[in-house]
Structure 1
């Protein structure tokens, strides 16, 4: 599976489109979490990038003030079941962006082990970590209510706009409780790379960065996570790597580097 912020149709979309189409064609992921994907009445950027062979779910509340139609989407080679949407506009500082989460049942080839896929996209400004905490708790509680009924595996990811030590990400990683709530998810990158930096938003090397980011840190803000039960993660991360991490024929795919993980059910016993 891959999580990838694709920057809508900004910044020389035609060149970026070719990079993304070729890259996804080669990687051929079974599951994709997209952020900043444009969907309008006559255009679906997810289908444009991936081509045929995927079932797609789109956030209904999409951007109407920035790039029209930008939002989050999920694509799966397996059929999709129930689709739920969480509104993460949690206060005055979050109303101008379609912060939200998509929570989708995936009817994959292990029917005896149901899978829940979550695309979590909180607010992006650097100074709204409090709101990202509230957003993380809202999504986590929603997911826990489902899992209590269904016992599903959960894969959760997205562009969290927060570094690993931020309180919202520490909450997801089981290192910090918020609002009387705690959960535990394992970070696929950390499981396979330990403390390596693994920047996914890298102003020092990526020319697509807007001017206001260019003096900022390279940082890891995009994640793929596996939910833990009482006895650790319910699925095993086989490998994890960054994708779209450089230029192809002079063009980058996005201002974000994507994250790819191979995940499979944990062996019992």
Structure 2
């Protein structure tokens, strides 16, 4: 089994160049499961689906950012699998008033892999990123 995790950094920076490199590397690595952070999931912008194509089942977190300077609305986390997805749930990590502008969540996805692997649980953890928010990360 091959597993890849990557912060896509939304659509910031040289996005067209990064998008091409992302697709190229995913093809080379041939992962079975990916956890992606800072993907955009909004009407008309399904970044994970566009990056991965139809060869993956994708679970999208409901918790998404409203948009702020440098980050479009709908940024959050996604988990993708070449195998079907079963149950999906989220653990809310917005534990204090300081996390309101960030999609703090943990997306837990059941992957229905073939035998001999069988069922796999994947946790895509996306805590508060700010350096002075250690309390929120510990909680």
* TM-score normalised by length of structure 2: 0.91
* Unaligned 5+ runs, structure 1: 135-269
Q: Deviations over 1:99-155 (max 9, x none)?
A: 001111110012774311110000000011111011xxxxxxxxxxxxxxxxxxxxx
**Equivalent residue runs for 1:211-250 within 5 Å:** none
Aligned to 1:20: 22
Find the partner of 1:72 among 69, 73, 77.
77
SS at match of 2:106: strand
**Equivalent residue runs for 1:25-174 within 5 Å:** 25-66=27-68, 67-110=72-115, 113-134=118-139
Higher Cα Rg, which structure: 1
Distance 1:89 1:12, change over 3 A: same
Using the TM superposition, name which of 106-115 and 118-127 deviates more: 106-115
Contact 2:55 2:82 in 1 (8 A): yes
Contact 2:35 2:80 in 1 (8 A): yes
Q: Give structure 1 regions of 4+ aligned residues with deviation exceeding 3 angstroms.
A: none
SS at match of 1:65: coil
Find the partner of 1:6 among 5, 8, 15.
8
| RMSD (Å), alpha carbons | 1.3
Distance 1:113 1:53, change over 3 A: closer
Distance 1:25 1:112, change over 3 A: closer
- Give, in whole Å, the separation in 2 of the partners of 1:113 and 1:28: 19
Q: Deviations over 1:5-25 (max 9, x none)?
A: 001111021111111111111
* Unaligned 5+ runs, structure 2: none
SS at match of 1:47: helix
